[in-house]
Amino acid sequence: METEAYLGPEDAASHAAFRPGSRALFYGEGGHAYVYLNYGVHHCLNAITNPAGEPGCVLIRALSPLEGVATMARRRGTPTSARLASGPGNLTRALRITLADNGADLTTGRLVILPGGAGRAFSVACGPRIGITRSIDLPLRFWIAGDPSVSGPRRT
């Protein structure tokens, strides 16, 4: 698993700072999907995280598939691998997430984020976000140290 946090207008890389069309969702109730098309090429999935009126979201950058691996590989047109859902665009292609999922409730329905179980022990690593040009100094990227699905530089 790999994520990046985006804050309110004080975070120059956040859509709350420079993308007026995203503000309704960004300032809305947490627990909903914010999906947008990045550079006109691939979709990005974010989870709105805060109470209504307080902007903030988390970009889901990568995950380690536990189920549906063959379906995800078919959607991506690639063999199965640990990096099947590595990177925001690969993740949304593997999960068939599109702009139609924008605003979806992430607590019920097709796209659900569930609390972690009492599974394996792991360490969380933290570093600067990647693939952006604004607010690059903020350590708001988080990933499971040593996880092969991590998309960017794997600093541990």
Looking at residue 74, which CATH number applies to its domain?
3.10.300.10
pLDDT at 156: 47
- For residue 130, tell me if it sits in a domain: yes
Pairing of strands 57-63, 85-86: antiparallel
Distance set, CA 75 to CA 36, 63, 81, 86 (Å): 19, 16, 13, 14
- For residue 51, tell me if it sits in a domain: yes
Tokens of 34: 């914010």
Distance set, CA 11 to CA 37, 64, 135, 142, 146 (Å): 20, 29, 7, 17, 28
- For residue 149, tell me if it sits in a domain: no
* pLDDT 10s digits, 56-110: 999 999 998 888 999 999 999 888 776 889 999 999 999 999 999 999 999 998 8
Please report which residue ranges of 27-65 form alpha helices under DSSP H. Answer: none
Number of domains the chain contains: 1
**What mean pLDDT do residues 129-145 have?**
90
- Structural domain that includes position 113: 2-144
pLDDT at 12: 83
- For residue 125, tell me if it sits in a domain: yes
62 vs 118, residue with greater confidence: 62
- For residue 150, tell me if it sits in a domain: no
Amino acid at 2: E
**What mean pLDDT do residues 31-57 have?**
92
- For residue 70, tell me if it sits in a domain: yes
* Residues linked to residue 44 through DSSP beta bridges, in sequence order: 36
- For residue 91, tell me if it sits in a domain: yes
As a whole number of angstroms, the distance between CA 82 and CA 147 comes to: 9
As a whole number of angstroms, the distance between CA 92 and CA 69 comes to: 14
Rg (CA), the chain: 15
**What mean pLDDT do residues 15-38 have?**
83
pLDDT at 32: 95
pLDDT at 139: 94
